[in-house]
Amino acid sequence: MEQKLKMLAEWLSKVEKSNFHYDSYSSGKLEDAIAQSQVEVCNKIGSYLEEILEMDDEQIETELKQK
C-alpha cells in the first residue's frame, strides 16, 4: 500500500494543465485560472502525501493526538 501511495504522490506532484485537457489556444482566462487552480491543488495534495509518507510512527501519533 505504501508503494501505491508513493506513486500517487509522485503523480499528483507532476500534474500539469494539460492533464485537465486545457488548451491555451481555445480556452479563455477563466478556464486558464481553473486549470491552474486544479494543478496547484493536486501538487499540494502530492506534497502532503510525500510529507506523511516520510514521517515515522511517532510523528504520526503526535499529529493524530493534536487533532
Total residues found in the chain within this entry: 67
Say if pTM beats, i.e. exceeds, 0.75.
yes
Residue whose C-alpha is closest to residue 19's, from 1, 38, 2? 38
Q: What CA–CA distance (Å, rounded) separates 33 from 37?
A: 6
Domain locations along the chain: 2-66
User: How do residues 5-60 score in pLDDT, each as one tens digit?
Assistant: 999 999 999 999 888 887 777 878 888 899 899 999 999 999 999 999 999 999 99
